[in-house]
Structure 1
Amino acid sequence: MNSALRHEEGIAVVPGIAAGPIVVVEALSFWGGVDPATGTVIDVHHPSHGASLAGAVVLMPTSRGSCSGSGVLLELAFSGKAPAALIFRGPEDTLTLGAIVASEMFGLGIPVARLPEKAFAVLSCAGEANILPDGISADDGKIRIPLCAAAHDNLRLSPGDHRMLDGDDGVAAQLAMRIILGMAYQQGVKALVDVTRAHIDGCIYAGPANLVFAEKMEELGARVRVPTTMNAISVDYANWRRQGVAPEFGEPAARLADAYVRMGCQASFTCAPYSLPDPPGFGEMIGWSESNAVIFANSVLGARTAKHPDFLDLCIAVAGRAPLAGAFLDEGRRARRAVAVDLPEGADSSAWPLIGYLVGLASPDRIPLIKGLARTSPTPDDLKALCAAFGTTSAAAMLHVEGVTPEAEKMGCHTEDGVVITREALAQGWRALNGGPASVDLVAIGSPHASLDECKAIATRLDGRPLARNISVIITAGREVVTAADADGTMAKLRESGVIVIRDLCWCSITRPVFPEWTRVVLTTSGKYAHYGPGLSGCAVRLGTIEDCIEAALTGSAPARLPGWLW
């Protein structure tokens, strides 16, 4: 045994046998970052862009970004393009859950291990590795790292938990509880917690794996036992045929939505569930998935939820129980890094997605306390943009804004270190996300879903003027917002100018031909879509101000430039 590793024991989170070349990558969102058909990294902002993870022993500190990464991993397993094994340096839930579901439901083995820092560093320098349930060997046995099983004896279960686990509440509830416990064991939690509501992210059709999981759970008798909303889906449910969506995509996407509705979920179809009537209250324990929704619920509403991966969200809704870990606990809500932002006077709404994006880069693995914004008066839409952009670059389930968010004073008083985002860093960040051709083919609004106020802002600025030739302006919004915009005349004003408003799906799930075929350059106000869009669409996607978007809509052009508040 390598003497440097004699006391460096890792944990076999999902035990199994595998072998392959070692590929080391920085934290990565598999959804929007890895092609589920090939295993290739498609995130153009990631240093491993273009690398193949198929068949590799992938070493990654942790994952980040979307909760849908679990679905991408299952899709990769179905297609035979999954990593041979996943090895993390710290806690990781999203891909781990995908591996648990692959094993529990479909007998597809993707071993997952967690290593101490020193062992992870040593293994990162090796060329290949063999994984067994009790250890990892690399470079012809020169490196050996023992693995132990995750502890099972610390978790206290209620009588109701035992009944579900014994099958008294049916096969689906039993399977849901087994998956929940698989997650709880690797998290090292001591108890489960009742949740009052859930939000499903796994209803996005990323491929057959999502549909197979949902229909299998329905076949087994799954029914949600707490009020459960649904994320945006992958088609405009009522109109996809008229929009020209191919049946081979539209039909399974609609089937997936139908399966969740039949299991008792509300057909809300929005990635902004916090904007629905009766949002969660302060301190309420909820079981939400979808990264921006989780971060907003924790950070703005003061509700409590971990960032639950796809598939675990349904299991929690079926069981009404979740692992008592992460942001459910005070300790999991404390800010560990102070991020001071040197925000210029006069900053407008375009500052918030930029700040969220850069704060996520500055605090990729821990909850930040954002300082320097106490004098601002952000709107709910500003905070939505902040949370969504933060969720693309950080793995944390929440953030605090000094003087703005509910628990900033209580949970942000003992940060361990600090960084500063200077005005120059803000300008550099904007240039990085705004760069690209001046000519624009598509203006994309609504990632996350646009609010009624955002729809009104576009309608007011266009003021009935027609769009420029050969440009499209598309807003994605939830059903509740579309209904309200119809009722107050906003929709009529948007249609007068030629703006298209689409419900049920959002930019992170939109596909051609709803996404115009001829598009090469996209302008968006969303930091989230500016990050994920290039990999998802194959287009140049630029972050712009709302004024940039209106200029592009009316002229077909908006040159890359700093917003006025950054001059």
Structure 2
Amino acid sequence: MKLTDEEKAMADGRDGPGVQKAMDLLIRYGEALDAERLVETRNVCGMITMSMPVQRSFAERKGGMDAALSEFGLDSSEAVEIPRFRAATHHLQLGFDTNHPELTGADEQSMQFYRKSEVHAAKLGAQLMNTCTPYQVGNVPTRGEHCAWMESSAVIYCNSVLGARTNTEGRESTFAAAITARIPYWGYHLPENRFATHLVELDVDVATTEDWGLLGYFVGETVQDRVPVISSKRGLSRVPNLPRLKHFGAAASSSGGVELYHIAGVTPDAMTVEQALGQKKPVEVIRYGEAERLATYEKINAFGKERDIQFVMLGCPHYSLEQLWEASVLLEGRKVHENCRLWIFTPHAIKALADMNGYTKIIEAAGGVLMTDTCSSVSKSVPPGTRAAAVDSAKQAHYLPAMLGVEAWFGTTAQCIEAACTGRWTGGLQ
């Protein structure tokens, strides 16, 4: 790889062993990817704090937080002092809810270790957002900005909706990027790789959040890891808002490996279909109509058999304030069924706003729990006795059966709230 003089100095140890280890990792990583060089980044989203038992055990045996961060953040068996971060670095979600650890299976030892890790990460310069949706709580990179982000639904939103540039990174590469403000220049950092390859033409209106989740699931499964551009000859009846684009991207990155998409006339690099395609012909033109919509709905709900619902999970990706408002309107004056549990996940920064606006009080008065920092697929936790769950996220419907062995029904937020209050799934394609 071609390194600048500054990068060579970091790699040679000028700034200490921590920076040197980070540069060594990035150089090895970049060479494996055939990247010609590194690119400067000032925006990192990764897993900075530690909460897993294996990390706690390692820290206790090997000499503390820096030793554990060397091992799990820099892939270094040699413990080095971790320097303060050079890039603005934002911590993503955890494996448990810090406000309700008992519901997500965290014991007291895990909580104590996490709190120490949290303090340590903050001293290094980490922004403790604890969410899979950093763009909802202040991290909004600009068009063309080079980033180093983890988390599939965050990456696809960053690339597509914001027009910034990132690949789906891992814990080690983001940690090294935080220390060096560098990341390999490859993949979606390169302008030529950001053009659409497949054209998806809509023969049906896509308006609701459910519609966008269905379309995302279809698109991801169809194009896999390629770049689609979505177009409607008759135009979209409603420009998709943040929750709809969030659910579309989360679904597309779950059923497939989509990291970047374009919507003609909506997303920043696709004012026209031709612009999105880079004036080239698409590899394939794909139609999405009523038949495809119905088939996708049936595929997502293929694991749903039992109509009695023990669990309703909302907030994957984490709910926005608007979505919490909607849920509180649907819940106000009602009660969650005695045989069902309702968990709603949101960033803790948004929960603070929900507290101020009275949404938390409404949700809790109905018998629901407003949770933060994690979700059921990350924490791998559902209420005891859960056999069948209802979700308004195609991503969560995709993951829950495989990860936790529970049946999952996918539908609208209103259908999920109805299931929570009646204990029965009565939803259907609208």
Contact (CA 8 Å) 1:443, 1:473: kept in 2 or not? Answer: yes
Q: What code does the residue aligned with 2:142 have? A: G
User: Counterparts in 2 of 1:51-450, with a 5 A limit?
Assistant: 155-201=1-47, 203=49, 208=54, 214=69, 216=71, 219-222=79-82, 223-240=84-101, 245-247=106-108, 250=111, 257=118, 260-277=121-138, 279-344=140-205, 347-372=207-232, 374-375=235-236, 376-408=238-270, 409=272, 410-412=275-277, 413-414=279-280, 415-435=282-302, 436=304, 437-450=306-319
Give 1:508 deviation, angstroms: 2.3
Relative to structure 1, the CA distance from residue 526 to residue 258 in structure 2 (aligned partners, 3 Å threshold; closer, same or farther) is farther
CA distance in 1 between counterparts of 2:328 and 2:215 reads 26
Give 1:184 deviation, angstroms: 1.1
Give 1:159 deviation, angstroms: 1.1
Relative to structure 1, the CA distance from residue 206 to residue 424 in structure 2 (aligned partners, 3 Å threshold; closer, same or farther) is farther
1:450 counterpart SS class: coil
Matched, 1:499 2:354: no
Contact (CA 8 Å) 1:233, 1:257: kept in 2 or not? Answer: no
The superposition leaves residues 88-145 of structure 1 with CA deviations (integer Å, 9 ceiling, x where unpaired) of xxxxxxxxxxxxxxxxxxxxxxxxxxxxxxxxxxxxxxxxxxxxxxxxxxxxxxxxxx
The superposition leaves residues 157-206 of structure 1 with CA deviations (integer Å, 9 ceiling, x where unpaired) of 01111111111112121111111112211222222111121101465756
Contact (CA 8 Å) 2:46, 2:170: kept in 1 or not? Answer: no
Give 1:400 deviation, angstroms: 0.7
Give 1:550 deviation, angstroms: 1.7
Contact (CA 8 Å) 2:52, 2:110: kept in 1 or not? Answer: no
Aligned to 1:109: none
Aligned to 2:62: none
1:509 counterpart SS class: helix
Relative to structure 1, the CA distance from residue 187 to residue 242 in structure 2 (aligned partners, 3 Å threshold; closer, same or farther) is closer
Matched, 1:464 2:333: yes
Matched, 1:548 2:415: yes
517-526 or 391-400: bigger deviation: 391-400
Aligned to 1:529: 396
Give the structure, 1 or 2, with the largest relative contact order (CA under 8 Å, sep 6 or more): 2
CA distance in 2 between counterparts of 1:320 and 1:516 reads 41
Relative to structure 1, the CA distance from residue 178 to residue 501 in structure 2 (aligned partners, 3 Å threshold; closer, same or farther) is same
Contact (CA 8 Å) 2:86, 2:179: kept in 1 or not? Answer: yes
1:541 counterpart SS class: strand
Contact (CA 8 Å) 2:318, 2:345: kept in 1 or not? Answer: yes
Contact (CA 8 Å) 2:264, 2:276: kept in 1 or not? Answer: no
CA distance in 1 between counterparts of 2:121 and 2:194 reads 31
Contact (CA 8 Å) 2:137, 2:350: kept in 1 or not? Answer: no
Q: What code does the residue aligned with 1:426 have? A: R
Give 1:552 deviation, angstroms: 0.3
Contact (CA 8 Å) 1:236, 1:502: kept in 2 or not? Answer: yes
Contact (CA 8 Å) 1:434, 1:560: kept in 2 or not? Answer: no
Aligned to 2:65: none
CA distance in 2 between counterparts of 1:552 and 1:361 reads 28
Give 1:334 deviation, angstroms: 0.8
1:340 counterpart SS class: strand
Unaligned runs of 5+ in 2: 59-67
CA distance in 2 between counterparts of 1:211 and 1:361 reads 40
The answer to which structure has the higher helix fraction is: 2
Aligned to 1:79: none
Contact (CA 8 Å) 1:467, 1:497: kept in 2 or not? Answer: yes
Q: What code does the residue aligned with 2:245 have? A: L
Relative to structure 1, the CA distance from residue 290 to residue 162 in structure 2 (aligned partners, 3 Å threshold; closer, same or farther) is same
Aligned to 1:484: 353
Length, aligned pairs only: 406
Aligned to 1:510: 379
Q: Percent identity?
A: 27
Give 1:245 deviation, angstroms: 3.0
CA distance in 1 between counterparts of 2:52 and 2:284 reads 39
Relative to structure 1, the CA distance from residue 228 to residue 400 in structure 2 (aligned partners, 3 Å threshold; closer, same or farther) is same
Matched, 1:475 2:357: no
Q: What code does the residue aligned with 2:372 have? A: R
Give 1:536 deviation, angstroms: 2.1
Give 1:516 deviation, angstroms: 0.9
Relative to structure 1, the CA distance from residue 183 to residue 279 in structure 2 (aligned partners, 3 Å threshold; closer, same or farther) is same
Q: What code does the residue aligned with 1:358 have? A: F
CA distance in 1 between counterparts of 2:178 and 2:117 reads 16
The superposition leaves residues 479-516 of structure 1 with CA deviations (integer Å, 9 ceiling, x where unpaired) of 1110000111111111111110011112322244xx31
CA distance in 2 between counterparts of 1:284 and 1:361 reads 28
CA distance in 1 between counterparts of 2:387 and 2:110 reads 22
Contact (CA 8 Å) 1:229, 1:265: kept in 2 or not? Answer: yes
